[in-house]
Amino acid sequence: MFILRRAQPPLSPQVTSCRSKQFVKYLQKRIAAAHEGLELGIGDASIIKALAEACGAKESQIKTRYKELGDLGLVAKASRSSQSLMRKPEALTVAKVFDTFRLIAKESGKDSQEKKKNHIKALLVAATDCEPQYLIRLLQTKLRIGLAEQTLLVALGHAAVYSEKHSSAPGHIDSPLEEAAKIVKQVYSVIPVYDKMVPALLTGGVWNLSKTCSFTPGVPIGPMLAKPTKGVSEILDKFQDMVFTCEYKYDGERAQIHYMENGLVEIYSRNAERNTEKFPDVKIAVSRLKKPSVTSFVLDCELVAYDREKQKILPFQVLSTRARKNVKLNDIKVNVCIFAFDILYLNGKQLLQEQLNIRREHLYSSFEEQHGYFLFATAITSNDLEEIQKFLETSVDSSCEGLIVKTLDRDATYEPSKRSNNWLKLKKDYMESIGDSLDLVPIAAFHGRGKRAGVYGAFLLACYDSNNDEYQSICKIGTGFSEAMLEERSASLRSKVIPDPKSYYRYAETINPDVWFEPAEVWEVKAADLTISPVHRAAIGDVDPEKGISLRFPRLLRVREDKSPEQATSSEMVAEMYNAQKLNQRDKQVENEDD
Ligand code: ATP
């Protein structure tokens, strides 16, 4: 594989830092942090062209071998190793490959595809042994090394301890490795950018990391998430003896709005992607409605489609018709209202460690409300079952999905990227089923028969287990599809067919689908309940040593364009939903026996 550094003399700290960052990014399968929006932007067609040119072969030959081997990486390795080389090419270094990847990503405009192809070709010409195979897999973003992000962070923490030159672990720390991993994870949750964290580790060491690397406006953090619940009584059970607040759950798009000291505004999506150009109106509204004393802030909110004349919230489907890029103020047809529910940073001070009631006070005192433009999320503080039930009804009458219930005291800090026990969601439409929908990945399909001949008749869905980096089958689905939808999904997945299941798919041999797919799409699915299954493998080992969990009566709701397969519902979540359902059933049984 590519060498990490080429030769003597010893590298300067800057160079070491640069190479370490690049190496970590390889492991992370990304060339830049999500908010930088830098993607390789190449398809198989460009790679095939480059490979053909690098090997002196015809494109048709490469395509035929691709069909035979089912992996372009293997085709590259075989094609290059059969070439006799006049002289050994100069060794590829991590830095060289990484810099070329960034060049590829930055090419734009006229002839950009041709330029990208030429960069790939240059890399392939220099690649030897197994390098072509890994180069191609990196370019296709298909290199799987079974490494979850959390493992990478732990490794970084440990590496920092082993190479500690700056200071040794403070005396009171018993297990420095564990502590260092904890620090790295905590810092990454508030500044998820390796470009900042790795140099800070190398220059200041791990024990100073929280000081040298901290939450910064302009760098989005993962949003705090809520756990599903099935009813008001479950909430009262979970939050017994605690003060909590219920807020309307608005159905729009999560947004983290960063307002910098220099007046610059950036808007980030739930996945930390830069969404600023989609919402120029939001940019103006926050700048106008912040109080004059406010010089910088980071706001957590939901952007919701809004009819300003009728003063009415509009459904999510209306918001999704809004253009994504380069929206001009005069062309906006779908207005949005900002519903603010949290503030994470204010006037140069981060508020993540503050309790929610304190953050709320800051929020309420920092902005003016204006109907149709900027409102605070409607909220009540109560622990009365009937009152909360009524509040749930009014939220639904006001075109919301239900409630988000949040603890106000006891460690009610903001927990970035975490599905926390301190936030619960109650969705009206799911109270009768399993509390929430699931986001699942189609990994295989069965050919349709009769009316469905020519399209797929049913699909095998999987959840994602991030600890083992694998997709575990959870159910077969054939309902919830309109004819048009089935055509559309079949057409889209046909291009994702692979000859064999991936090594990281877990399923029972008895399932026997007709075709397998790359993990490519995420589908939102509703189900009647969860059950232990001898066939499916979701959360296997969590609730039963040999059996997994499956969904009964799954129905397709929609495709989640905003989620990548690795952001599908986790097997951990599936196990939690199953356990919650079991508890509910037991409670109901006890209630019935009491009657
Ligand atoms: P999740 O974000 O929990 O993975 P999801 O994207 O499918 O799941 P939902 O299950 O519908 O979204 O619920 C969570 C989302 O609800 C939040 O991410 C946020 O966008 C939205 N939301 C609406 N109102 C609020 C509120 N008052 N507080 C927090 N989040 C809210």
What's the start-to-end Cα distance of the chain, in Å? 69
- The mean of the pLDDT values for the chain is 88
For residues 267 and 284, give the distance between their C-alpha atoms in angstroms, rounded to a whole number: 12
Distance 218 CA to ligand 1 centre (A): 22
Q: By alpha-carbon position, which residue is closest to atom 16 of ligand 1?
A: 249
Ramachandran assignment for 306, one of left (phi > 0), alpha (psi -120 to 50 degrees), beta (any other)? beta
Is residue 563 annotated as part of the catalytic site, yes or no? Answer: no
Cβ contact 373:356 at 8 Å: no
Specify the residue for token string 């729009």: 252
For residues 191 and 198, give the distance between their C-alpha atoms in angstroms, rounded to a whole number: 11
Percent of the chain with pLDDT over 90: 55
Model pLDDT for residues 154-210, shown as the tens digit of each residue: 999 999 888 876 556 676 777 889 999 999 999 999 999 998 999 999 888 899 999
What integer pLDDT is reported at residue 15 of this predicted model?
47
For residues 308 and 372, give the distance between their C-alpha atoms in angstroms, rounded to a whole number: 5
Residue 215 amino acid letter: F
Specify the residue for token string 């953050």: 359
Residue 288 amino acid letter: R
**Ligand 1 within 6 A of 254 CB?**
yes
Residue 64 amino acid letter: T
What integer pLDDT is reported at residue 5 of this predicted model?
44
**Ligand 1 within 6 A of 250 CB?**
yes
CB atoms within 10 A of CB 345: 20
Handedness of CA 99, 36, 439, 541 (dihedral sign): positive
Lowest mean per-residue pLDDT among 64-73, 180-189, 264-273, 326-335? 64-73
- DSSP-derived secondary structure for 333-389: -S-EEEEEEEEEEETTEE-TTS-HHHHHHHHHHHB--BTTTEEEPPEEE---HHHHH
Model pLDDT for residues 245-285, shown as the tens digit of each residue: 999 999 999 999 999 999 999 999 999 999 999 999 999 99
What integer pLDDT is reported at residue 480 of this predicted model?
78
Instruction: Retrieve residue 316's tokens.
Output: 């999510």
**Ligand 1 within 6 A of 430 CB?**
no
Give the global pTM. 0.84
* Residue 595 banded pLDDT, cuts 50, 70, 90: low
What integer pLDDT is reported at residue 168 of this predicted model?
66
Q: Which domains does the chain have, with CATH numbers?
A: 2-139 (1.10.3260.10), 149-212 (no CATH), 225-432 (3.30.470.30), 438-584 (2.40.50.140)
Model pLDDT for residues 275-306, shown as the tens digit of each residue: 999 999 999 999 999 999 999 999 999 999 99
Greatest mean pLDDT range, 7-11, 48-52, 288-292, 560-564: 288-292
What integer pLDDT is reported at residue 80 of this predicted model?
73
Burial class (CB within 10 angstroms; exposed 0-12, middle 13-18, buried 19+) of 325: exposed
Which is catalytic among the residues 116, 249, 476, 547? 249
Q: By alpha-carbon position, which residue is closest to atom 26 of ligand 1?
A: 249
For residues 331 and 428, give the distance between their C-alpha atoms in angstroms, rounded to a whole number: 35
Distance 238 CA to ligand 1 centre (A): 19
What integer pLDDT is reported at residue 126 of this predicted model?
86
Instruction: Retrieve residue 463's tokens.
Output: 């959840």
List, in sequence order, every residue forming a beta bridge with 328; answer none if it has no partner. none
Distance 226 CA to ligand 1 centre (A): 7
What integer pLDDT is reported at residue 6 of this predicted model?
42
